Amino acid sequence: MQAAPIAIEERILLTGATGFLGGAVTAQLLAEGHGANLSFLVRADTRDQGLERLRDNLRQHGVGECALQFLHAEQIICGDFLDTAWLPRETPRLMQIERVINCAAVASFSKNPSIWPVNVEGTFAFAEVMSRSKRLKRFLHVGTAMCCGPQQASPISESWSFPDGAEQLVDYTASKAEIERRMSVELPGLPLVVARPSIVVGHRTLGCQASGSIFWVFRMGFALESFTCGLDEQIDVIPVDYCAEALIGLALKPQLRHNLYHVSAGHHAACSFAEIDEAFASANGASPVGARYRKIGVDDLKELAGDFAARIGPANPRLVLRALRLYSGFADLNYLFDNSRLLEEGIALPPRFIDYLDVCVRSSSGVSIATQMQWDFK
């Protein structure tokens, strides 16, 4: 779906534009001709510095130099959710914004001490200021579908009910659940719409150029020929460019039926691990793992450590085991996320992971699994 046209004078503010998803959203907005309407919240000491950070990231998202030179320093708002002392200074500019796409977050599965201050406290402070605006028409906040927690019946439908923080698998999902709860309950004046992407992996034409996040898990599982999920189980994966298109559609459409949406593959576009095995092997010019694959329990993962060096190359065994345990927790959920609300808004059907997996493989050539892991353990 092409985003509905908006009035030329409407200002759109993006947060997180120097990250993976925010960069993809920015690239798509530029391609759709919205460049002149955009403002960017960027962590930087000066606007010029912020502009360079933004341009550097957008190059990884395939944005050409002509489009990059069209951006200018006056579009940059210098600010950081870790330290919101800048908010009073920039409030007058924020009050001129009509639509916000809030992609900013510490998206890490590590025990990063910035997760809660950024994802909850800083985000809430920013949202509270925006809730006072008389011009703001929509505050699109990007959450995560995995904030539903474990022990849910798949397919998962959108819900504002959250499990206790102690039941969340990692601090990241707990923080995303808490900020949604706080904004929806404590900021009734905020025109809040929440979009929860499922598992975002790669890009349909750029593969892992901008980020190898999560793709390394598939590489590692097939290299080790073992993981905690069966080949017959499915996984809900979408590419970042599809996610970006959906977010823009939800941000700019004049009227929406709901205030909470999954951005996901859903039942029709999810892939089984057997399908992924076939596509992965084809892209590598190899035979599928197939019958050699072993489904193992999480307690058995440590038995694979002896094979790490031979199968995945140089890596810290303790870090690899920790990463595998964390991701096995998500894989074992075997969740699909209902995307019927999204499709009812006219958003296009999502592509299947196996349809662009070969692009991810080609773009990962020469990049070690250990290097790709770093995207998710910042």
pLDDT per position as a tens digit, 112-128: 999 999 999 999 999 99
* Strands (E) located in the chain: 12-15, 38-42, 76-78, 99-102, 138-142, 192-197, 199-200, 226-227, 234-235, 237-238, 260-263, 271-272, 294-295
Taking the C-alpha atoms of residue 3 and residue 247, their distance in angstroms, rounded to an integer, is 9
List the structure tokens of 27. 């690239």
Rounded Cα distance between 126 and 49, Å, is 22
HSE on the CB side for 336, CA within 13 Å? 15
DSSP secondary structure code for residue 119 in this structure:
I
Taking all residues of the chain, what is their mean pLDDT, rounded to a whole number?
93
pLDDT (tens digit per residue) in 330-344: 877 889 999 999 999
Domains and CATH numbers, the chain: 12-212+236-265+336-348 (3.40.50.720)
The DSSP string of 213-252 is TTHHHHHHHHHHTEESS-TT-EE-EE-HHHHHHHHHHHHH
Q: In what order do the strands lie in the sheet with 38-42?
A: 76-78, 38-42, 12-15, 99-102, 138-142, 192-197, 260-263
Hey, what's the torsion of the CAs at 371, 240, 94, 65, to 10 degrees? 80
Q: How many Å apart are CA 352 and CA 117, to the nearest integer?
A: 35
Nearest residue to 92 via CA among 122, 120, 132, 124? 132
* Amino acid letter, 73: A
What is d(CA 122, CA 261) in angstroms, rounded to the nearest whole number? Answer: 23
Span 190-195, average pLDDT: 98
Percent of the chain with pLDDT over 90: 79
**Is the confidence at residue 300, as pLDDT, over 60?**
yes
pLDDT at 4: 52
Res 303 pLDDT > 90? no
pLDDT tens, 30-63? 999 999 999 999 999 999 999 999 999 999 999 9
Predicted confidence (pLDDT) at residue 289 exceeds the cutoff of 80: yes
The one-letter amino acid code at 118 reads V
Question: pLDDT-based confidence at 110, cuts 50/70/90?
Answer: confident
Strand, helix or coil for residue 192: strand
